[in-house]
Structure 1
Amino acid sequence: MKNYNTEMALWFAFLASFLLNNAGVSSQADNNVNAINAIKSNYGIKRNWNGDPCAPKNYAWDGLNCSYVVSGSPRITILSIASSGLTGEITNAFANLKELQTLDLSDNNLTGPIPDGLSQLPSLTLLVGDNAKLCSDGTSCNQSKKKSNSSKIAIAIIVPIVVVAILVAVCTFIIYRLKRPTEYSTGTSTMDTSIQLENRQFTYKDLEMITNNFQREIGRGGFGIVYSGFMIDGTQVAVKLRPQTSTQVVKEFMLEAHYLTRIHHKSLVSLIGYCKDENSLALVLEYMSEGSLHDHIRGLKAGGTRPLTWRDRIRIALESAQGLEYLHKGCNPPLIHRDVKPDNILLNAKLEAKIADFGMSRAFGNTNNTHVSTNHVVGTLGYVDPESHMTMQLTAKSDVFSFGVVLLQIVTGQPAIIQGSGHQNGSGSMNMNIIQWVRQRLARGNIESVVDARMQGEYDTNSIWKAADLALKCTAQSAAQRPTMTEVVVQLKECIELEAATGRNYNTNFYSVNNSNGYTNENYYMEQSHVSQNSTQEIEQMVGRVPTASGPVAR
């Protein structure tokens, strides 16, 4: 009887614990639903917000992401209601979403202070840009009101003057437009003038007008088909278009595109805007007229252009490194490119290099068979960091590895995987990656055996040795042994100083802009810094010795 009573007590304790846990999960789920419904009611949001915001998973509400766990109800972690015409103050209901990590309220007409409850959410990133009447706290709001009252008298005097000035300006503009000839005869003259605005969301009709009904295809890639087009002001752009796939992909695309439109750097291809309309997704990008670095170093650029000089190449390497450094250090949160390769380094009419296709790899993995994708690790065969591939953990050092492979290609003109350059086997020569190929030759002290012969010996030996040395450090097997992109930028500037010190004059019939773009100036990117020069012995220590072979020794 005693054992029976003991067993019954244990069962009652288990049942009570189970009921309490389920009550807690249900309560937390109800908090999410109640909070989001309060937000919807407060602002009169008209979307497909009905039922449970997170369930079923494939029909989660637009503008939010949820985390799904086995032992509990879904939690809202990302809420984006930017550009939704919200008015009034920020409601305290947002603070009831306890698991919220990102709240995007930008581009609305919100007023008043930011609630204190939001600052108590430990993991929250709050985006409130372009809300002119929003203030950080109650004190600043009160001060704003006082300033407003004190300025009413001044406004009463200034307004009539401004009105007259505006009328004059409007009349002048109308006269100018009437006299101005039509710029386009292809239909783009009727395009909505709002398309001139940068960093905005386009409609599918906008894209049809920009591309003249997608008339000129200029390429295809992992994202989709690329078309050339023109904005209303005549600016040429590239439009990348692809069909929509899953609902989750669309959500990730919208959140990431909205973030990337705010990233600007001289060495990054500008994302002008994006489109989610009808059945398609699209990116509107800065147009890069001279194609990719891959086309130039592999001799695929049409038009009979000469190969890039060493001065061109090392400058392009530096500009690319500065773009990656900005992604790693200048963005908050930092961005990892995930697919650094010559195809994603584009050149404009002045041969200025800019990094392309950054940031979107979380939403879109290339389905081409040259790409490796293991869980969240994506990239192109020959450029993927082996350590990240093994651990399935991408870091900034993964981009450093890929950049090292690109730098070796800049030096050698070879592809990342060199066909038939390995040891003989039963079926012929094996392929060899460019890292191994360069290591073997540099260990023999023969720099000329790896340098692209199309440069015809017109380079400073110390500069090219230093670049090759840097590339091999970037491609070290262990991420801990690789430099950061900031350190890479410093080293590449030293390579440019060494080349500039030769005073070499290149025979430039390449792009006519080369004579006026300033890059022939020997002081370009010069800084007052000590220039370290790696000896042949240092290279040997790094790559190891292999049997020596005849050939000129550097330095």
Structure 2
Amino acid sequence: MAARSWLILLCLVAAATAGVLQARAQPDSKGFISVDCGLPGKTSYVDDKTKISYAADDGFTDGGSFHNISAEYITPALSARYHNVRSFPDGARNCYTLRSLVAGLKYLIRATFMYGNYDGLSKLPIFDVYIGVNFWMMVNISDPSGATLLEAIVVVPDDFVQVCLVNTGTGTPFISGLDLRPLEKKLYPQANDKRGLSLFGRWNFGPISTTEFIRYPDDPHDRIWMPWVSPSYWVEVSTTRPVQHTDEDVFDAPTKVMQTAIAPLNASSNIEFAWVPYTQPKDPAPGYITVMHFSELQLRSSNATRQFYINLNGNMVFSQGYTPAYLYADAIFNSNPFLRYPQYNISINATANSTLPPIINAIEVFSVFSTATVGTDGQDASAMMVSKEKYQVKKNWMGDPCVPKTLAWDKLTCSYDSSKPARITDINLSSGGLSGEISSAFANLKALQNLDLSNNNLTGSIPDALSQLPSLAVLDLTGNKLNGSIPSGLLKRIQDGTLNIKYGNNPNLCTNDNSCQPAKHKSKLAIYVAVPVVLVLVIVSVTILLFCLLGRKKKQGSMNTSVKPQNETTSYVPTNGSHGHGSSMQLENRRFTYNDLEKITNNFQRVLGEGGFGKVYDGFLEDGTQVAVKLRSESSNQGDKEFLAEAQILTRIHHKSLVSMIGYCKDGKYMALVYEYMSEGTLREHISGKRNNGRYLTWRERLRIALESAQGLEYLHKWCNPPLIHRDVKATNILLNARLEAKIADFGLSKTFNLENGTHVSTNTLVGTPGYVDPEYQATMQPTTKSDVYSFGVVLLELVTGKPAVLRDPEPISIIHWAQQRLAQGNIEGVVDARMHGDHDVNGVWKATDIALKCTTQVSAQRPTMTDVVAQLQECLELEEGRCAISNANNNFYTDNNSNSNSSYDMYATDHSIDVSQNSAAFETERNFGRMPSTATGPAAR
């Protein structure tokens, strides 16, 4: 049995011959990339059968280590490509980068794995494989002597693609080989930029040998066609004549595959085969697409007819009989996945008019996986790749910088929008051991807000290109070895109040024009001339300084644009407070008078809402910008302290999921804050159906709102300086704009805390809203970040259930206890908001509900952080978007050469029960077609 396994492996990959070529990380002349993973050095070799050149993986990844498999698993029949592996014991994610591709083109990607006890541990690993940022497949090694093959067809969004191995805590990831093959755009139309195809099996019917694998050069795309031989049940049909392809052919099955076919052993019988889904934790109900290849290989007499029906689990694929064309390749395929079945039974049976039995030449079966998740903005990702290479940063800097969120690079903060690529907003490489010049690639990070390069060994000058970053608010260069002067572009940004730059402890950095001039050798005459000049300059400078000091007393608060001594830890803080994290209160540069507010609001004509501070009015600025004016009422229980607290907070927090302040008013007894206008009101209004004429939020909208709100809280807890506890998170304090984007509002009760001394603050008053208040905070009077987590959990339950935080009918009960009572019986449908009419991914609803209940556990230490919550909600949203992508698609069967309406059948239009055949032939073929034992048949097609 083992010898047969090695023989099949030999036929699959082919024996390697010696021949050393220069390794290359680029496609060859055919566009192929073929990598022998773990091959040491930069060697390569040419396969003597396929003539494909295989390169070592040194130029494709910078992680891991190479090993040889144990000698006991090496046989003469085993391809040299399986003799070695590269394993990745360090880091959660390690990636191979395949470059020089064509963005938008379709590619076949194949990865192979043979464990062979390379590490001597005899511990079979399980790990995940991603293509880019999208989950592809779980690798579950079940036999050290067997090989596992993964193959996918995907559209690549960039000029490179990454294949990443992710450690899931169940063994060290490893890989034996990695291939990439370009495909014509028309091939496999089921694969697009939102969806990839993962090979379940590709079988050639009719060859007489079980070792007759077909691949390159017989297949120009180097697909591997496995022989399916069952002489006990089928008779082989073949021809030596070429089988032609029509212009409409979108699969291009090779002639050698189409020259063989099978028919039933008994002419009156059917062709039957079946397969059982390959399920896994992240894909518990895979959807399948099949491509069945047909060609008539026998020249029929005038009175002979071959016509047959194709059935799936009792449902006819076509409403009429199908007749294959003589010596022309044709294919019947479904464009979108079947209904989910526990077993898929294919039956091909002759029609009543047919005089010949049915035939089939080949079949391909794919499961579908989502590629809809987009990675980091291409320019941002490229900039970080360049910077990684320049500074040789190791950390966990592998794969995409921001996506998936759980694998984002250390020291980066990204902003996430489900409809746009992630953007890098913060980089903290303080004390990172960086040396050399400041990377010019940073200037390509157009969404960057904070860049901290402090306490490194950076040399050279400060790039003026950084001044072109429109969102850059804080630049910290403290504690380096920079020289030259601060560029004019950055100085202008400092002066107009849009940039806070810290540059202290850079001994060679020039801080005024004179000291920036290079030193020159001077003659004594020059010194004689220079000394009097310097004395005159000193006298003039002292005079000017005295004048400025006197003038400053008359004009307090004027902006100091002079540069401080170079060895002093220095920072420029814009006086308008639009950016930066200064400790003194710096309000926005727009200060309104009470009369201004009267004009803006048309004498406070329209009330948008009312809270503890006072009423919120609709208003319009001079340029037509709509705003919300929050005016403190005289009866408000929130006074100057709360007003100043919220105003100060809003001047230093800037995040897409937090409401922005445009200006303020402190005019005598009148106090007001002017915010951006959120046209769709509060989240509570939408949950209750009081908005949009009673239209309720979809599950996708709810998840996006939850994710954006969680991102806002994560920013407050983790990235704000100093960090903040909101203390009043609730559905009425989450506002929605015209695009239903969520933003957290009302910071009057927020408190700062010191991350180094814990995550709580001590208070002597209990604040918050009943139903949302953390019970631990109630008991200790010490709110923590986990207090916000608790409140957010309540909001998340509101989004799931459509219920308020406290239900009052028939008697008051918290939404938490209400949900727990129903979930204890496993009744998720009794919890989820019925007004969504079941239009949701049930796994995503379960996951979101579980997150909410974890957030609201009684003991705060057992609650997740907001960073954890963001990552989990991102996964929920990906589940729902994947479901939407599939459910919105057309689900018809087609034939290559005849795509009219009479040749298709809507597989979702019927709902027949499953009738699993019990005959021995069906179960025999099921064993061949389903999960194939790697010891008997070589690489498992999964």
For Structure 1 versus Structure 2, the TM-score category normalised by the shorter chain is 0.5 to 0.7
Q: 8 Å contact 2:844–2:880 — kept in the other structure?
A: yes
Q: 8 Å contact 2:727–2:749 — kept in the other structure?
A: no
Q: 8 Å contact 2:749–2:767 — kept in the other structure?
A: no
Following the alignment from structure 1 to structure 2, what is the Cα–Cα distance between the partners of residues 449 and 300?
23
Q: 8 Å contact 1:361–1:378 — kept in the other structure?
A: no
Q: How does 1:151-190 map to 2 (within 5 A)?
A: none
Partner of 1:326 in structure 2?
715
Partner of 1:216 in structure 2?
606
- 3-state secondary structure, aligned to 1:379: coil
- 3-state secondary structure, aligned to 2:867: helix
Q: Does 1:488 align with 2:869?
A: yes
Q: How does 1:77-476 map to 2 (within 5 A)?
A: 130=497, 136=504, 143-146=511-514, 199-243=589-633, 249-251=639-641, 253-254=643-644, 256-301=646-691, 303-361=692-750, 375-420=764-809, 429-476=810-857
Residues 218-249 of structure 1 show CA distances to partners (whole Å, capped at 9, x for unaligned) of 22111101111111221100000014689994
Following the alignment from structure 1 to structure 2, what is the Cα–Cα distance between the partners of residues 277 and 210?
15
Following the alignment from structure 1 to structure 2, what is the Cα–Cα distance between the partners of residues 247 and 295?
25
Aligned AA for 1:456?
H
Partner of 1:167 in structure 2?
none
Following the alignment from structure 2 to structure 1, what is the Cα–Cα distance between the partners of residues 869 and 676?
26
- Normalized per residue, the structure richer in strand is 2
- Normalized per residue, the structure richer in helix is 1
Shift of 1:204: 1.7
Shift of 1:306: 1.7
- 3-state secondary structure, aligned to 2:735: strand
Q: 8 Å contact 2:800–2:845 — kept in the other structure?
A: yes
Aligned AA for 1:258?
Q
Shift in alpha-carbon separation, 1:279–1:140, aligned structure 2, 3 A? farther
Aligned AA for 1:462?
N
Shift in alpha-carbon separation, 1:417–1:133, aligned structure 2, 3 A? closer
Residues 52-76 of structure 1 show CA distances to partners (whole Å, capped at 9, x for unaligned) of xxxxxxxxxxxxxxxxxxxxxxxxx
- 3-state secondary structure, aligned to 1:377: coil
Residues 486-510 of structure 1 show CA distances to partners (whole Å, capped at 9, x for unaligned) of 0000000111111122135899xxx
Residues 77-102 of structure 1 show CA distances to partners (whole Å, capped at 9, x for unaligned) of xxxxxxxxxxxxxxxxxxxxxxxxxx
Identity %: 63
Residues 447-503 of structure 1 show CA distances to partners (whole Å, capped at 9, x for unaligned) of 100111100010111000000001000000000000000000000011111112213
Following the alignment from structure 1 to structure 2, what is the Cα–Cα distance between the partners of residues 231 and 447?
48
Following the alignment from structure 2 to structure 1, what is the Cα–Cα distance between the partners of residues 651 and 767?
23
- 3-state secondary structure, aligned to 1:206: helix
Shift in alpha-carbon separation, 1:385–1:209, aligned structure 2, 3 A? same
- 3-state secondary structure, aligned to 1:498: helix
Aligned AA for 2:629?
V
Partner of 1:552 in structure 2?
none
- 3-state secondary structure, aligned to 2:829: helix
Residues 139-197 of structure 1 show CA distances to partners (whole Å, capped at 9, x for unaligned) of 689632426889xxxxxxxxxxxxxxxxxxxxxxxxxxxxxxxxxxxxxxxxxxx9x99
Following the alignment from structure 2 to structure 1, what is the Cα–Cα distance between the partners of residues 769 and 638?
24
Following the alignment from structure 1 to structure 2, what is the Cα–Cα distance between the partners of residues 346 and 354?
5
Shift in alpha-carbon separation, 1:442–1:246, aligned structure 2, 3 A? closer
Normalising by structure 2, we get a TM-score of 0.32
Aligned AA for 2:778?
H
Q: 8 Å contact 2:642–2:749 — kept in the other structure?
A: no
Aligned AA for 1:383?
Y
Residues 231-278 of structure 1 show CA distances to partners (whole Å, capped at 9, x for unaligned) of 122110000001468999425533551342221111011011211112
Following the alignment from structure 1 to structure 2, what is the Cα–Cα distance between the partners of residues 255 and 321?
22
Structure with higher RCO (Cα < 8 A, 6+ apart): 2
Q: Does 1:500 align with 2:862?
A: no
Q: 8 Å contact 1:335–1:359 — kept in the other structure?
A: no
Shift of 1:417: 1.0
Following the alignment from structure 2 to structure 1, what is the Cα–Cα distance between the partners of residues 749 and 872?
29
Shift in alpha-carbon separation, 1:135–1:286, aligned structure 2, 3 A? same
Following the alignment from structure 1 to structure 2, what is the Cα–Cα distance between the partners of residues 270 and 385?
27
Following the alignment from structure 2 to structure 1, what is the Cα–Cα distance between the partners of residues 851 and 620?
40
Following the alignment from structure 2 to structure 1, what is the Cα–Cα distance between the partners of residues 664 and 833?
39
Aligned AA for 2:746?
D
Q: How does 1:540-551 map to 2 (within 5 A)?
A: none
Following the alignment from structure 1 to structure 2, what is the Cα–Cα distance between the partners of residues 478 and 341?
20
Aligned AA for 1:253?
F
Following the alignment from structure 1 to structure 2, what is the Cα–Cα distance between the partners of residues 496 and 344?
22
Aligned AA for 1:384?
V
Q: 8 Å contact 2:805–2:815 — kept in the other structure?
A: yes
Q: 8 Å contact 1:227–1:240 — kept in the other structure?
A: yes
Q: 8 Å contact 2:646–2:746 — kept in the other structure?
A: no
Shift in alpha-carbon separation, 1:261–1:412, aligned structure 2, 3 A? same
Unaligned runs of 5+ in 1: 1-127, 151-193, 364-373, 421-428, 508-555
Following the alignment from structure 1 to structure 2, what is the Cα–Cα distance between the partners of residues 237 and 338?
25
Following the alignment from structure 1 to structure 2, what is the Cα–Cα distance between the partners of residues 138 and 203?
44
Most deviating of 251-260 and 463-472: 251-260
Following the alignment from structure 1 to structure 2, what is the Cα–Cα distance between the partners of residues 133 and 397?
33
**Once superposed, what is the RMSD of the aligned Cα atoms?**
3.5
- 3-state secondary structure, aligned to 2:746: coil
- 3-state secondary structure, aligned to 1:502: helix
Following the alignment from structure 2 to structure 1, what is the Cα–Cα distance between the partners of residues 794 and 786?
13
Residues 410-449 of structure 1 show CA distances to partners (whole Å, capped at 9, x for unaligned) of 00001111113xxxxxxxx432111011111111111100
Shift of 1:375: 3.0
Unaligned runs of 5+ in 2: 1-494, 519-575, 579-586, 753-762, 889-942
Aligned AA for 2:711?
Q
Following the alignment from structure 1 to structure 2, what is the Cα–Cα distance between the partners of residues 362 and 336?
5
Q: 8 Å contact 1:460–1:499 — kept in the other structure?
A: yes
Q: 8 Å contact 1:199–1:262 — kept in the other structure?
A: no
Shift of 1:314: 0.6
Following the alignment from structure 1 to structure 2, what is the Cα–Cα distance between the partners of residues 447 and 248?
41
Aligned AA for 1:201?
R
Shift of 1:346: 0.6
Shift in alpha-carbon separation, 1:501–1:251, aligned structure 2, 3 A? closer
Following the alignment from structure 1 to structure 2, what is the Cα–Cα distance between the partners of residues 231 and 380?
33
Aligned AA for 1:432?
I
Aligned AA for 1:335?
L
Shift of 1:383: 0.4
Q: 8 Å contact 2:724–2:751 — kept in the other structure?
A: no
Following the alignment from structure 1 to structure 2, what is the Cα–Cα distance between the partners of residues 342 and 461?
23
Bigger CA radius of gyration = 2
Following the alignment from structure 2 to structure 1, what is the Cα–Cα distance between the partners of residues 837 and 733?
27
Q: 8 Å contact 1:199–1:271 — kept in the other structure?
A: no
